[in-house]
Structure 1
Amino acid sequence: MDNPARRFILRAMEHDLIIVGGGLNGPALALAAARAGLSSVVLDALPATTRSGDAFDGRSYALALASQRMLAGLGLWEGLAGDAQPMREIKVTDGRVGEAEVFLGLHFDSAEIEEGPMGYMVEDRFLRRALLEAMEAEPLVSHRDGARVTAQSTAPEGASVTLEDGTMIMGRLLVGADGRQSGVAQRAGIRRTGWGYGQTALVCAIAHDKPHGGVAHQLFLPPGPLAILPLTGNRSSIVWSETEARAKAINALPDDQYLEVLRPRFGSFLGEIALAGARFTYPLGLTLANHLVAERLALVGDAAHGMHPIAGQGLNAGLRDVAALAHVLSHAQRRGEDIAAPAVLARYERWRRFDTATLAASTDLFNRLFSNDNPLARMGRDLGMAALGALPGLRRGVIREAAGLTGDLPDLMRG
């Protein structure tokens, strides 16, 4: 039954969305919501100067074609295109240390699909700057940096958060885009399921003598996978998984010795290499929120799911959450529904729950299958890759999946 008093309360809210988390998914959601006429406040615990730094620190992202379409739909791609490197091919090799220069695996070529490159590599600094500038230019988005949330409350009438300085902010929907250790999820009592892999990712960027040709390489080595991803110019991004103890020892080495350990893992096909930017490490594991929604609350990105980077789908999965939630909210808004009603949020959870669980299970299986040197497992996976490579229709399906073009796409990802 319609309640006039309740409708008045909702109209009186400061914002339609309170988004906690100022990384990538939070700002993207605010911009996507603005397209539907919904207002947002983005609360970022970090200062804006930390987010807007222009120096290259080695971090970059593999954006699937569907994610690129979303950024284009938000008006960001025109400013990013000049700094983006198309990924025209992917080569997958099952190799041991010292063998990686020999190609014995799968080859995926974007020429096999009509839509164009499977994806693009974009440096973190460019993507963050584009999002910050777009938020500043959007009147429906308020951005507060250095804003740490200490408390939150949800009720049938709305949601609110309290900041460290005592400020209270009210809105219709609270969104957690605040990472794997999401405070929004924890305060809402949403538990997580997951486990660690006993692996650590070493992340860096390298400059090299020879051109990469827009080819991305995924090497499966016994300690864990190694991805070599093309950046603009003669540079590549490296995501390299090792056992925790081995990774700790490698990361403690000076730069020249670090490179000496890295070189034999992918051979000499790029010529001489040198570090370009900083080095990072982060522990690898699988973590899924048991629920993506609660009363007047939704989770997106790593707050909803975190998985192994083996398929490079972390940010893409988060952007798909953002596009799906924006789709659900905008269609609810057009129908005159309360955007945070249980039935509306349930649509988002149903849409994303199956996709994220399937992706998490797939990355978990691939990591366990390939991160070992068992002869029988090695023979089985090599035969499987050979069979896949011999079936053009199946291979094309894998390319479309990698490009994010399969399944029920949200409006923003349809192009």
Structure 2
Amino acid sequence: MTDTKAQTQAKSADAGHASAPKEHYDIVVAGGGYVGLSLALSIAQASDLKVLVVDPQPSERLRKDERASAIASAATKMLDRLGVWGEIGPASEPIRDMIVTDSKVSDPVRPIFLTFEGETAEGEPFAYMVPNGAMVGALSDAALKAGVDLIECDSVKDFAIEGGMTSVVLESGHSCTAKLLIAADGVRSRLRDLAGIPVVRMDYDQVGIVTTVEHERPHEGRAVEHFLPAGPFAILPLTGNRSSLVWNERTDDAKRMLDMDDFTFSLELERRFGKQLGELKELGPRKGFPLGMTLARRYIDPRFVLIGDAAHGIHPIAGQGLNLGFKDVAVLAEVLVDAARLGQDIGAFDVLERYQRWRRFDTVQMGITCDLLNRLFSNRSDILRHARDFGLGIVDRLPGLKRYFIEEAAGNRGDVPKLLRGDAL
């Protein structure tokens, strides 16, 4: 008798949420977020490598995440190739165009200095707003079906290189060996610290306030970025008459706003959002995230790799944080699958060095670019304001340059790995 989809997923989940790992894996991934799961899925679908994902959170909590993330066109091609975009896409909202303003909160008019059309090709938006819960749920289910082992509510406590293998010890006391340990455990990566990999850190004294609002009138798929003295205020379209807000404020002001009652917060929100979409209603939840830049000085050690935010945490001003992580996934999966097919040791330093060479310059460049943009726009200098507005006006009059920026934001420029082109590994 053929199982239904729900029965199949239940059986996969039972296998994947085992209480203890097997004795040996080819790859252990520490971190079961979008980056860790998509990497495990990519490798499992394209090879016979045995993969374990260890995550400290239960997947049910991640599936209930009400926030949304901006992902580039290239990332949607990868998710489609992995077989999950069909589930994620209907819940996502394409960004059809984008406008940029530069003003003070008190200014009665916010002139538009820069506009971007939202398509890289006909019918292909340069980015989408994707619900976090839907994305992690689809990736988790697909990874389990592909044969990935998933252990929840546990994490990697320690590891050591022993005789050409990595010995991995979990907080639960269970242990296993692997040819390669991949740290996808976020910007405050504990494994990065255990490996002794130094980082460059910069605190921006800013907090990103994230929430969701409902408005009277449709947004028509338009994203808006208001550059305000305290930091950018981004309005990003969601399905229906809803928008996701990423609101940067100085740390002290942000703490005050996060603690405001709903009525007072709505007044502050309206001052920044404006009335162009009618009355606003905060749907929540309202959360704050400290902003900074964290760049690892190297991404690899023998049998150890950093990926995603563990390798590079950047300012969200350009909306490229998760997209950098997905590009890491596409590159590392391609490198490891190619090495396995050639019979090479996937944990060998020379194999991992290919990943580092491919990704390090790109991520450092993006981190520095976002740092400079934040410094240029998040200030109260009228001189800088007039200079940057003049520059934005020039860019707006040069279609070729705008096209370059759109293609860059869509992830279509440079040495694009196979998965981000929509090709199989």
SS state of the match for residue 90, structure 2?
helix
For 1:401 and 1:24, the matched residues in 2 are separated by 22
Query: Aligned partner of 1:276: which letter?
Result: L
What residue number does 1:200 align with?
207
User: Of the candidates 383, 391, 410, which is equivalent to residue 417 of structure 2?
Assistant: 410
Distance 1:148 1:62, change over 3 A: same
Q: Is the 8 A contact 1:52 1:132 kept in 2?
A: no
Identity of aligned residues (%): 43
- Verify: 1:52 aligned to 2:63, yes or no: yes
Query: Aligned partner of 2:112: which letter?
Result: L
The alignment's C-alpha RMSD in Å is 1.5
Please report how far the alpha carbon of residue 101 of structure 1 lies from its aligned counterpart in structure 2 after TM superposition.
5.9
Q: Following superposition of structure 1 onto structure 2, how do residues 78-157 of structure 1 map, counting pairs within 5 Å?
A: 78-99=86-107, 102-111=110-119, 113-114=121-122, 116-139=124-147, 141-155=148-162, 157=164
For 2:59 and 2:390, the matched residues in 1 are separated by 50
SS state of the match for residue 168, structure 2?
strand
Q: Is the 8 A contact 1:101 1:268 kept in 2?
A: no
- Verify: 1:324 aligned to 2:335, yes or no: no
Please report how far the alpha carbon of residue 230 of structure 1 lies from its aligned counterpart in structure 2 after TM superposition.
0.1
What residue number does 2:312 align with?
305
Please report how far the alpha carbon of residue 290 of structure 1 lies from its aligned counterpart in structure 2 after TM superposition.
1.1
For 1:115 and 1:52, the matched residues in 2 are separated by 29
- Verify: 1:75 aligned to 2:83, yes or no: yes
Query: Aligned partner of 1:22: which letter?
Result: G
Distance 1:112 1:165, change over 3 A: closer
For 1:98 and 1:126, the matched residues in 2 are separated by 38
SS state of the match for residue 210, structure 1?
coil
Aligned length: 400
What residue number does 1:9 align with?
none
User: Of the candidates 220, 225, 229, which is equivalent to residue 227 of structure 2?
Assistant: 220
For 2:419 and 2:143, the matched residues in 1 are separated by 18
TM-score, reference length from structure 2: 0.91
Q: Name stretches of at least 5 consecutive residues in structure 1 with no aligned partner.
A: 1-11
Structure 1 residues 63-82: Cα deviation after superposition (integer angstroms, max 9, x where no partner): 10011111111110011111
What residue number does 2:45 align with?
35
Structure 1 residues 191-226: Cα deviation after superposition (integer angstroms, max 9, x where no partner): 111110011111000010010000111110001101
For 1:157 and 1:75, the matched residues in 2 are separated by 34
- Verify: 1:386 aligned to 2:396, yes or no: no
Please report how far the alpha carbon of residue 266 of structure 1 lies from its aligned counterpart in structure 2 after TM superposition.
2.4
TM-score, reference length from structure 1: 0.94
- Verify: 1:15 aligned to 2:22, yes or no: no
What residue number does 1:264 align with?
271
Query: Aligned partner of 1:72: which letter?
Result: D
Please report how far the alpha carbon of residue 229 of structure 1 lies from its aligned counterpart in structure 2 after TM superposition.
0.2
SS state of the match for residue 112, structure 2?
coil
Please report how far the alpha carbon of residue 394 of structure 1 lies from its aligned counterpart in structure 2 after TM superposition.
0.7
SS state of the match for residue 201, structure 2?
strand
What residue number does 1:286 align with?
293
What residue number does 1:8 align with?
none
SS state of the match for residue 35, structure 1?
helix
SS state of the match for residue 268, structure 1?
coil
Q: Name stretches of at least 5 consecutive residues in structure 2 with no aligned partner.
A: 1-21
For 1:169 and 1:266, the matched residues in 2 are separated by 51
Q: Is the 8 A contact 1:101 1:266 kept in 2?
A: no
Please report how far the alpha carbon of residue 104 of structure 1 lies from its aligned counterpart in structure 2 after TM superposition.
2.2
Distance 1:297 1:367, change over 3 A: same
